[in-house]
Amino acid sequence: MSGRTLSSSTVPPAGHELRSVHDTSPAARRMSHAVRRAVGAVAIALLTAGLAVLGAGPAAAHSVLVSVDPADGAQLSTGPARVTFTFNENLQPSFPSVTVVGPDGNLWSEGQPVVDGPRVSIAVRALGPAGKYTMAYRVTSADGHPVSGTRSFTLTAAGHGTPGPKADAASSSGGGGSGGVPVWVFIVGAVVLFGGGLAFALLGGKTGKKTSKR
């Protein structure tokens, strides 16, 4: 057995190996900071864009009514076989609603509304009392925004048709609906959450490092 002993110069000081693993060069640190700043900028841009769209969402472009057949305010001696609303863009086929209500408060539309591209229509039974008939619609735009409104025509000569149920009773029992929540709300919400989480992870991590150094 040799009596040779290791000098203190041959034994690595405590923590030396750990420092060699975690220490980085100035160039690497600059690169890390540059990447952090770039990703942070992307997160802030996502947040800004998401919040801007969220604020402008209700006013964003959506389906606009172009025409209705019969025309709004038309004077008719006989009722139309069908009422058709035409919009400036294709509609989503989900949950359309079209009704024709007579001066007696009864429904004179029948069957289910049909969406065909930018048009939505419904059949109309033979009309009855003379007077103003209100045509109402509620459709879903391509962007998911619900759009609704009313137009009217006047029947100048009474017909002999049989009315449907009272409009109030039909609407209360009809159910069905999209809840009026536009698709863009979910998209923007996802963008904001992603951007916010990314920004928090970056800025939170940076703040934590500064705190640990103190």
20-46: average pLDDT: 63
User: Between 110 and 168, where is the model more confident?
Assistant: 110
Is there a domain that residue 15 lies in? no
Checking if the pLDDT of 208 tops 80, the result is: no
Checking if the pLDDT of 97 tops 60, the result is: yes
Give residue-wise pLDDT tens across range 110-145: 999 999 999 999 999 999 999 999 999 999 998 899
Is there a domain that residue 74 lies in? yes
- DSSP per residue, 6-58: --TTTSPPTTHHHHHHH---HHHHHHHHHHHHHHHHHHHHHHHHHHHHHHHGG
pLDDT of residue 168: 84
pLDDT of residue 46: 65
- Residues ≥6 apart with Cβ < 8 Å to 203: 40
36-59: average pLDDT: 59
User: Between 173 and 114, where is the model more confident?
Assistant: 114
Q: For residue 154, what are the β-bridge partners?
A: 75, 132
Checking if the pLDDT of 20 tops 50, the result is: no
- In which band, very low, low, confident or very high, does the pLDDT at 202 lie, cut at 50, 70 and 90? low
Is there a domain that residue 34 lies in? no
For 99, the 3-state DSSP assignment is strand
Per-residue burial over 82-104, b = 16 or more CB atoms within 10 Å of its CB, e = otherwise: ebbbbbeeebbeebbbbbbbbee
Q: What is the CATH number of the domain that holds 76?
A: 2.60.40.1220
> What domain count does the chain have?
1
- Listed range (4-8, 21-25, 110-114) with the worst mean pLDDT: 4-8
CA atoms within a 13 Å half-sphere pointing along the CA-CB vector of 78:
3
Is there a domain that residue 70 lies in? yes
- Listed range (30-34, 91-95, 163-167) with the worst mean pLDDT: 30-34
Is there a domain that residue 44 lies in? no
Which domain range does residue 161 map to? 61-177
pLDDT of residue 98: 98
Is there a domain that residue 137 lies in? yes
35-64: average pLDDT: 62
- DSSP per residue, 123-135: EEPPP-SSEEEEE
Q: What does residue 36 show for φ and ψ, rounded to 5 degrees?
A: -60, -40
- Is there a contact between 96 and 139 (Cβ–Cβ < 8 Å)? yes
- Is there a contact between 82 and 100 (Cβ–Cβ < 8 Å)? no
Is there a domain that residue 99 lies in? yes
Checking if the pLDDT of 169 tops 50, the result is: yes
